Amino acid sequence: MGGLFQPNHLAFTLPIRLLKNMKQKNRSELTIYLAQQNYHIGNFEANTTKILAAIQEAKSQKADLIIFSELCICGYPPKDFLEFDDFILKSEQAIDRIKKETTDIAVLLGAPSRNPKPEGKNLFNSAYFLFEQEVTAIINKTLLPNYDVFDEYRYFEPSFTWNVVPFKGRNLAITICEDIWNLMDDPLYRICPMDLLMPQSPDLMINLSASPFDYVHGEGRLHIIRENVAKYQLPMIYCNTVGAQTELVFDGNSVVMNSKGDLMLQLPAFEEASGMITLQSDGSINGKPTTPVHALKEREVIPERFEEAHHIDLVHRAIVVGIQDYFRKMNFKEAIVASSGGIDSAVVLALASEALGANNVRALLLPSQFSSDHSVADAVTLSKNLGNPYDILAIQPVFDSMMQVLNPIFEDRPFSLAEENLQSRIRGNLVMALANKFNYILLNTSNKSELSTGYGTLYGDMAGGLGVLGDVYKQQVYQLARFINREREIIPNNILTKAPSAELRPGQKDSDSLPDYAVMDAILYQYIERRQGPKEIIALGFDEALVFRILGMVNRNEYKRNQFCPIIRVSPKAFGTGRRMPIVGKYLG
Amino acid sequence: MGGLFQPNHLAFTLPIRLLKNMKQKNRSELTIYLAQQNYHIGNFEANTTKILAAIQEAKSQKADLIIFSELCICGYPPKDFLEFDDFILKSEQAIDRIKKETTDIAVLLGAPSRNPKPEGKNLFNSAYFLFEQEVTAIINKTLLPNYDVFDEYRYFEPSFTWNVVPFKGRNLAITICEDIWNLMDDPLYRICPMDLLMPQSPDLMINLSASPFDYVHGEGRLHIIRENVAKYQLPMIYCNTVGAQTELVFDGNSVVMNSKGDLMLQLPAFEEASGMITLQSDGSINGKPTTPVHALKEREVIPERFEEAHHIDLVHRAIVVGIQDYFRKMNFKEAIVASSGGIDSAVVLALASEALGANNVRALLLPSQFSSDHSVADAVTLSKNLGNPYDILAIQPVFDSMMQVLNPIFEDRPFSLAEENLQSRIRGNLVMALANKFNYILLNTSNKSELSTGYGTLYGDMAGGLGVLGDVYKQQVYQLARFINREREIIPNNILTKAPSAELRPGQKDSDSLPDYAVMDAILYQYIERRQGPKEIIALGFDEALVFRILGMVNRNEYKRNQFCPIIRVSPKAFGTGRRMPIVGKYLG
């Protein structure tokens, strides 16, 4: 994981300054345009159109070179699409089309390339340098992340050759994303591509990235850029992708840093943007230094304690982008949310309204005989505050008819979990019936605390196309609610102050079945984000029995999460593709 | 993927025969016991107990050495459990316990070991050689599979040292699973561990495996063993694990081959077993050669045409084991199946009855107003033939009450997909209500053709804890049915002969919405198992529009499969962890 910059084995030992002085000569200015764009996986047509538009704009601004992000042609991560030859062919056709537009400008962009050698994997993760209608260089990625959500070693051959790309009197040291991270927990990371490029006297480092957001990663990224600049005493242009693709949200935050470590350009977080800088004849970069936004200030460290894992403004923004792009890329317009009057559905409604527009988010209130009056009242107030269309459908008649149908089998057995789940699933049915009838996408409201402990009903409240809060612990849901209410009371205060309840039996409270959320979230955070075992967690001062109880819940409920929809990832360890646990039925770890 | 044995780059060139003659001397016999066992991931207690019992048995039979399979201590695949220190600690404690029992016998078993070096990943996938209460050698796996269902490079450092293990006058060349496969689609596979061991004059090859079943893999495995024996002119002992862990089924099929390529011992498929052989002083193996079972006769090739992808007897057995072990390892006893009178639920009921006992499988018939009379009659006959308990609950009253509740919103809109799905979801609710009330596990009946094309209802017929037929195309479901009926009519013939229908609207047939299954399955097989693109599939003679229609359905419905339960894997490319596709909403590949 991480982002800790480590000394490497093949460290470059030549005196860099001396080398630079030797090759200092008069060169013309180089104007470089950065395109921070939002791509759609496999949508070559849309991605190419977007890339071509930026090239036209850069040409009109007389840029010498335009830089796009990693695998921009096909979108990131393309996953097993890479195993299909026609997918690679389409990528090559797109490059051919773009190549034709490189008469007055050079283009640097990311795309897969074929490995010409018979041995090794079929593909490289590459940067294409296009100029004067030719592919003048292909640079391959060396360090292939294969942890958490990343599977690059499943598809790509690592590079084993390193060359600068000469362009208009400058030597460009081009790397791809992880290549500048030099993490030491991967054997391939013993190679440091920049060390190997230094003997060729580069003038400028350029990194093409597809580096996803999590609430600590932005900090780590700027730290790494700084460390590279400090080590090699070269300016760096860092171009990241932006926008969400199902679970992953890319935050952009592309930057240009001069060789002294000043931030000379900083593109905004979470939106498409472009910028232009000039590399002057003396190697400096034009303009005045800018101050880093707070997302980019420190070394990346997963905080030791849950209480320090905040950045709720960024989490808020990432989720909004995650919803927005899921709908846009899947060609959906309207969402539906089962609105219970509780904190989770309230926060989802507010986030979805911000992402899609309040009139595109329909709230469905589905009270049962166990719903308290305030639940309906609070949910109604919320939707009035937001401006959502909403409906109220009482589920009692359906529940009664279900129980009647089941009666020959259930007979007079007492009310139990089966009847609780039944209510949740009737709600799931009704909200899905509306979704199917009117083409809504059901947004799921389960939070990370519930998903961790299995406190949810499969096919009931666990239904939905996208997990909006699945990477947000209950405590963080409250933080989000307070953030949403930062200017005015959008979510009724009563929703923030009442005790959480599933309202599936008379007087039920979450605290009947679950430990206190504050303690539970802190333990879950140690186990899930920080990969601590029971011994380490107990050593932090938590009750032993409670720790084992909670870890047991997490492991036992893997089968439920296995059937859960994609979750918008905002933490360094989200449920989904980044956390791969066997289904074992009990705590065995 | 594969299993094609390729020449390797570091090929050993010394004259092997000469070397062997040089070191030929009088040695005593070596008696070796193979333990083909079924492990449970993370269940160190159960696994250790099982291993200790086999050691006792081997001691009582005066064996010199007992061999277990890859990662037997923790079960395979342990996945992200490997990232927890306490998991590794428990593994080490288990080895300490076993070590104490090695006074009169040597033990060779698989377990993770820590990488003592600071660089590289933290763990190796290792074989421990235990003798006289000591760990006398640790051999690390070199070739770490990182394709399909495998993620070993996510966790393990590859070995970069190779040494034989001397034991009682013999040099043992010990490798782990993939180490003998030498696949060339992975750059690490350029290393051939056996080539590197040959200069140390080994007398015997031993391979510890956890090699899962698919309907072509068994053939490939024996082929590889033969190729190794032929190349190195040494006997090989191949010890594989057996039994299922959620989606993966291990078929065992452990073998001993003498240096001439004769099969000297062959443990049965799909069950725990043990065997003993003696390596005689001249290097030969005692006993008479045996004939390979038909699962182990040829080189592994994914057949070019769907019609050739059979082995239905093995698929049948694998699924039965898959159900059995899922229940046993999760500590479940009874299953429930929604029995529609169609072919899929009929086959699931038959397989589950074989796996769990007919009285542990409850059939729930849930007819609607659209169900034909024969559906109920056929389902009743089936359960009578099998001996399942069954119940009939008509869903009409629930459907009516749902429609009444929805009426203020649906008004007089025409019957549509929403109402079709609603029926399927009501069935899902009712069968889950029984599952929750009586602690049944719902077995899912969706087949691979339906899952491919999205012909199923999320939270309805797509509900369930285990996908029994999710890796079996509709044509293969019929083959399974005929196989089940091979001796007598268990599944009523009418179920095999009537046209498939979801019966969700009057007179509905699958063929109203789907292409002919025979053609569709053949196209799906090319796309999914064989990774062919539209151009290649059309070139096989399939209609262009139909190919694009079907591939579009596959891609569009990724979001549904993303929420599906684990599927028992029987093919070389199953939905689930082995097939990682982005959710893109349309055919873009």
In whole angstroms, give the CA distance from residue B536 to residue A87: 13
Helix (H) / strand (E) element for B251: namely strand B248-251
Res B146: pLDDT = 92
Res A293: pLDDT = 63
Res A79: pLDDT = 97
Q: A8 in contact with B at a CB cutoff of 8 Å? A: no
Res B2: pLDDT = 32
Contacts of B398 in chain A (CB under 8 A): 398, 401-402, 405
Contacts of A536 in chain B (CB under 8 A): 85-86
Q: B412 in contact with A at a CB cutoff of 8 Å? A: no
Q: B272 in contact with A at a CB cutoff of 8 Å? A: no
A314-372 pLDDT per residue, tens: 999 999 999 999 999 999 999 999 999 999 999 999 999 999 999 999 999 999 988 88
Res A27: pLDDT = 76
In whole angstroms, give the CA distance from residue A120 to residue A562: 33
- Tell me the C-alpha to C-alpha distance, in Å, between residue B501 and each of A182, A480, B417: 56, 47, 15
B70-83 pLDDT per residue, tens: 999 999 999 999 99
Q: A158 in contact with B at a CB cutoff of 8 Å? A: yes
Structure letter (DSSP) for residue A367: -
Contacts of B404 in chain A (CB under 8 A): 397
How many other CB atoms sit within 10 Å of the CB of residue A104? Answer: 13
Q: Which of A330, A394, A338 is nearest to A361 (CA)?
A: A338
Nearest-Cα distance to chain A for B26, in Å, is: 43
A354-364 pLDDT per residue, tens: 999 999 999 99
Nearest-Cα distance to chain A for B314, in Å, is: 24
Higher-scoring residue by pLDDT: A291, B125: B125
Nearest-Cα distance to chain A for B333, in Å, is: 13
Q: What is the dihedral of CA B450, B452, B453, B456, to 10 degrees?
A: 40
Q: Which residue of B has its CA nearest to A458?
A: B459
Backbone angles phi, psi at A447, to 5 degrees: -95, 175
**Active site (catalytic) residues of B:** 70, 141, 177
In whole angstroms, give the CA distance from residue B185 to residue A508: 56
Q: Which residue of B has its CA nearest to A158?
A: B187
Q: Which residues contact A454 (CB under 8 A, 6 or more apart)?
A: A553, A556, A557, A560
Q: Please judge whether A459 and B157 are an interchain contact, meaning their C-beta atoms are less than 8 angstroms apart.
A: no
- Does residue B393 contact residue A405 with C-beta atoms inside 8 Å? yes
A515-568 pLDDT per residue, tens: 898 999 999 999 999 999 999 999 999 999 999 999 999 999 999 999 999 999
| Residue B217 identity | H
Tokens matching residue B422: 């609603």
Rounded to the nearest 10 degrees, what angle do helices A474-484 and A312-330 cross at?
90
| Residue A253 identity | N
Q: Which residue of A has its CA nearest to B439?
A: A418
Residues 190-249 of B with CB under 8 A from A: 190, 245-246
In whole angstroms, give the CA distance from residue B131 to residue B147: 35
ipTM, two decimals, is 0.93
- Does residue A555 contact residue A584 with C-beta atoms inside 8 Å? yes
Per-chain mean pLDDT for chain A: 91
- Tell me the C-alpha to C-alpha distance, in Å, between residue B471 and each of B63, B64, B214: 41, 42, 10
Q: Please judge whether A430 and B121 are an interchain contact, meaning their C-beta atoms are less than 8 angstroms apart.
A: no
Q: Which residue of B has its CA nearest to A576?
A: B562
Res B26: pLDDT = 56
Helix (H) / strand (E) element for A36: namely strand A30-36
Rounded to the nearest 10 degrees, what angle do helices A343-356 and A474-484 cross at?
50
In whole angstroms, give the CA distance from residue A279 to residue A277: 7
In whole angstroms, give the CA distance from residue A190 to residue B451: 43
In whole angstroms, give the CA distance from residue B132 to residue B103: 5
In whole angstroms, give the CA distance from residue A293 to residue B338: 56
Handedness of CA A13, A15, A19, A20 (dihedral sign): positive
Whether residue A18 is predicted with pLDDT greater than 60 in this model: the reply is no
Q: A401 in contact with B at a CB cutoff of 8 Å? A: yes
Q: A132 in contact with B at a CB cutoff of 8 Å? A: no
Contacts of A158 in chain B (CB under 8 A): 187
Res B458: pLDDT = 98
Q: What is the dihedral of CA B523, B526, B532, B537, to 10 degrees?
A: -40
How many other CB atoms sit within 10 Å of the CB of residue B438? Answer: 14
Q: A585 in contact with B at a CB cutoff of 8 Å? A: yes
Structure letter (DSSP) for residue A183: -
Contacts of A557 in chain B (CB under 8 A): none
- Does residue B222 contact residue B207 with C-beta atoms inside 8 Å? no
- Mean pLDDT computed over A125-146: 96
Q: How many residues does chain A have?
A: 589
- Mean pLDDT computed over A437-450: 98
In whole angstroms, give the CA distance from residue A317 to residue A320: 5
The per-residue pLDDT string of chain B (589 residues; one tens digit each, 9 = 90 and over) reads 333 333 333 334 444 444 444 445 557 899 999 999 999 999 999 999 999 999 999 999 999 999 999 999 999 999 999 999 999 999 999 999 999 999 999 999 999 999 998 778 899 999 999 999 999 999 999 999 999 999 999 999 999 899 999 999 999 999 999 999 874 344 556 788 999 999 999 999 999 999 999 988 777 788 889 989 999 999 999 999 999 999 999 999 999 999 999 999 999 999 999 999 999 999 999 989 887 765 444 555 788 888 887 789 999 999 999 999 999 999 999 999 999 999 999 999 999 999 999 999 999 999 998 888 889 999 999 999 999 999 999 999 999 999 999 999 999 999 999 999 999 999 999 999 999 999 999 999 999 999 999 999 999 999 999 999 999 999 999 999 999 999 999 999 999 999 888 888 888 888 888 889 899 999 999 999 999 999 999 999 999 999 999 999 999 999 999 999 999 999 999 999 999 999 987 665 4
Residues 375-394 of A with CB under 8 A from B: 391, 393-394
In whole angstroms, give the CA distance from residue A32 to residue A182: 26
Give the best residue of A93, A154, A364, A431 to mutate against chain B (max B CB count within 10 A). Answer: A154
Q: Which of A84, A421, A433 sits opposite B589 (nearest CB)?
A: A84
- Does residue B325 contact residue B356 with C-beta atoms inside 8 Å? no
Region of residue B95 (phi > 0: left; psi between -120 and 50: alpha; otherwise: beta): alpha
Per DSSP, the residues of A430-494 read HHHHHHHHHTEEEEE---HHHHHHT-S-TTTTT--SEESSTTS-HHHHHHHHHHHTSSS-SS-HH
Whether residue A13 is predicted with pLDDT greater than 50 in this model: the reply is no
Q: Which of A151, A391, A421 sits opposite B580 (nearest CB)?
A: A151
In whole angstroms, give the CA distance from residue A39 to residue B308: 41
Res A1: pLDDT = 30
Res B300: pLDDT = 57
Q: Which residue of A has its CA nearest to B566?
A: A562
Q: A44 in contact with B at a CB cutoff of 8 Å? A: yes
Residues 290-349 of B with CB under 8 A from A: 329-331
Q: B561 in contact with A at a CB cutoff of 8 Å? A: no
